[in-house]
Amino acid sequence: MDFSTEFVAFRDRLQEGQDEAFVSRRNVEVAGRTAALLSSFSVSSERKILGIMPTGSTTHAHEYRLLFAAPDLEEAALDGWWTYSAEAEDALVQADAQHSFSLVSLILVTGPADKALQKKIKKLSAERHYEGEQGGWSTIRLAVVDLVGRKVYANAAGDPLKGILKPFL
């Protein structure tokens, strides 16, 4: 298997097949690293009390999907990527009083993912609640795509990414 060719093909299938509400750009620098693909989705809606009474204000929510190649991902390298994910969250999430939530989805595409790496992925967790003049929350979703085994491994928050990414393998 030629990793580079397989990675580019995966990136292209993902970009073409994701929900059309996502806006995608290739080779975008985020927090000092260049993502092969950055896809984002934003929604704004009117805030309502008990879901029925309009308040006259709006709320907004976002998802950011960052795709990177990590051909020989090991546990130590995963620590660096996890640290980076918090830096990417800082760069992408623009919390304000109307912010509801943001999802930062870090997708790493690799060769074979060994058992130790799979276990470590499942243990990673990060959720931030914004206070003061900022509102809402954000969480980091992690998915590791094993191109050799044709599997997707994710942390608990990233579990929904498995169903999203699997069809593109």
Count the helices and strands in the chain (H runs, E runs).
4, 7
Residues spanned by the domain of 132: 3-156
Residue 163 lies in a domain: no
Q: Of 73, 108, 69, 66, which Cα lies nearest the Cα of 88?
A: 66
Residue 162 lies in a domain: no
Residue 166 lies in a domain: no
pLDDT recorded at residue 54:
56
Residue 122 lies in a domain: yes
Span of 80-84, 87-91, 130-134 with lowest mean pLDDT: 130-134
Q: Is the pLDDT of residue 161 over 90?
A: yes
Mean pLDDT confidence for 15-33: 96
Chain mean pLDDT for the chain: 91
DSSP string, 82-106: HHHHHHHHHHH----TTEEEEEEEE
Q: Quote the number of domains for the chain.
A: 1
pLDDT recorded at residue 51:
61
Residue 118 has which token pair?
């799979």
Which are the contacts of 80, defined by CB distance < 8 A and separation ≥ 6? Answer: none
Mean pLDDT confidence for 33-41: 97
Torsion of the alpha carbons at 116, 85, 157 and 93, rounded to the nearest 10? 180
Place of tokens 């943001």: 102
Residue 105 lies in a domain: yes
Residue 168 lies in a domain: no
Q: 83, 122 in Cβ contact below 8 A?
A: no
Residue 152 lies in a domain: yes
Q: 28, 34 in Cβ contact below 8 A?
A: yes
Residue 165 lies in a domain: no
